[in-house]
């Protein structure tokens, strides 16, 4: 028997829950200054119950060529990557709010 999504009750290969979840979410991108004057780019507002935040962080890190960490529902990238992160998120179907 095929795997069935327990949210939309469609077979997993037809499941669009992740797509719907993205459209309903607004990722907020900000930057902050950390100790020793280091800039980090912060991506917030991702609902990790619907989105695989570790996978998203991996994509962002690869596209921005930066190190980063996931802290709860927040992704932190080392350096200033607002523009690139917004582009990556938009290309992945997210609503983006750059602040």
Find the part of the chain contacting Zn ion (CB under 5 A) among 15-23, 44-52, 64-72, 77-85: 15-23
Segment 21 to 80, residues that bind Zn ion, using CB under 5 A: none
Sign of CA dihedral 62, 67, 68, 69: positive
Find the part of the chain contacting Zn ion (CB under 5 A) among 16-24, 46-54, 80-88, 90-98: 16-24
Q: Cα angle vertex 36, ends 35, 42, to 5°? A: 50
Q: Give the interface with Zn ion as residue ranges (CB under 5 A).
A: 5, 7-8, 15, 17
């Amino acid at each position: 028997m095929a795997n069935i999504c327990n949210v939309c009750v469609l077979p997993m290969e037809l499941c669009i829950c992740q797509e719907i979840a993205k459209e309903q979410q607004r990722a907020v991108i900000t930057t902050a200054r950390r100790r020793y004057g280091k800039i980090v780019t912060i991506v917030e507002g991702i609902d990790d119950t619907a989105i695989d935040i570790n996978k998203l962080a991996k994509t962002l890190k690869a596209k921005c060529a930066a190190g980063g960490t996931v802290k709860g529902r927040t992704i932190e990238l080392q350096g200033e990557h607002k523009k690139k992160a917004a582009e990556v998120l938009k290309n992945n179907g997210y609503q983006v709010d750059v602040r």
